[in-house]
Amino acid sequence: MPPLRIALVIAATAALFAHTAQPVEVTPPAVRKYLSEPLISKIYTADPAAHVFDGKIFIYPSHDIDAGITDRTDGNHYAMRDYHVLSLDQIGGPVTDHGVALDLADVPWAGRQLWAPDAAHANGRYYLFFPAKDKAGIFRVGVATGDSPAGPFKPAREPIAGAFSIDPAVYGDSDGAFYLYFGGIGGGQLDRWPGNHYDATALPPTATQPAVAPRVARLRPDLLGLAEPPREIQLLDTSGKPIVAGDEDRRFFEAAWLHRYHGTYYFSYSTGTTHQICYATGTSPYGPFTYRGVLLKPVKGWTTHQSIVEFAGRWLLFYHDSQLSGESNLRNVKLTPLHYRDDGSIETIDPFRN
């Protein structure tokens, strides 16, 4: 193989499996306007996990900072050190920043990188689920508890046994059971957990093999641990076959989220390298889920991370882009209405206006 072609192959492979190695970010044409404006501009926020607590929308984002890190290997420049909680009483109303809800320095087991969190309410308490690299550089999932949806939250001394990688998302079902979804390939290290056992030498699947699967596990009633071993979530095409690793337009990369609409479970996620938010549907919180389409087209920046919630009779999509800074690691959260068609499919959202 000619040297130039070898170099191109190596570059393409690195872009596929590194969290932020993709060199081409989405830049909107100058004539297009943004569909939505940032909810807050005093700090940089991303990965918004939205929930309705006490009649308000509470948003649990990651808190982007400029840590002066130029090494983008495995997303090292995403060096977030704390979490803030945001809230709003009504759509279009003022957004309150409740300040620091959890600091990296207060998590005994964590070493660095507080990435995308999520929250839940049960047992009269509020729970914050979050990923961080431990002292050995391996992403784990932790949990912290508090008496208010705005925090502060007190973390457990150890990460949740059996939970790993990044992007924890919690879904509370109508029967009272709670499920934890997690995982992200590349910098999120999910590729290194075949069979739920960490292996730093594990190789990613080939382009024609089934893609690395996100995980789900039912939580214990106290929400402080898993009630069962994590299961792999099957993402299928319309013919019932697993989506393969080379199908970058549809395969899972990160940002798992589950919601339910008219009895159907909707699993949404980011495709990472192709910058889309896609969704699939199923009849169980465990899956399998069948691919249905693109929920959100690429935003400005490298990629985005979503949550979906119903509030005051309207369904809302929360996401982030890089409108304020133009930098992929200094992002801002946004929201926009989400609309279902009569057949249960979701209208694709373009983050820009013509």
Give me the active site residues, please. 47, 254
Q: Tally Cβ neighbours within 10 Å of residue 99.
A: 11
Residues 91-97: contacts with CB within 8 Å, 24+ apart? 91/57, 91/311, 91/312, 91/314, 91/316, 91/335, 95/39, 95/40, 97/40, 97/42, 97/43
Q: Tally Cβ neighbours within 10 Å of residue 208.
A: 9
Separation of alpha carbons 4 and 198, rounded Å? 35
Nearest by Cα to 142 from 99, 193, 106: 106
Nearest by Cα to 14 from 57, 67, 73: 73
Collapsed DSSP state (helix, strand, coil) of residue 256: strand
CA 227 to chain centre: 22
Instruction: Tell me the H-state helices in the chain.
Output: 3-17
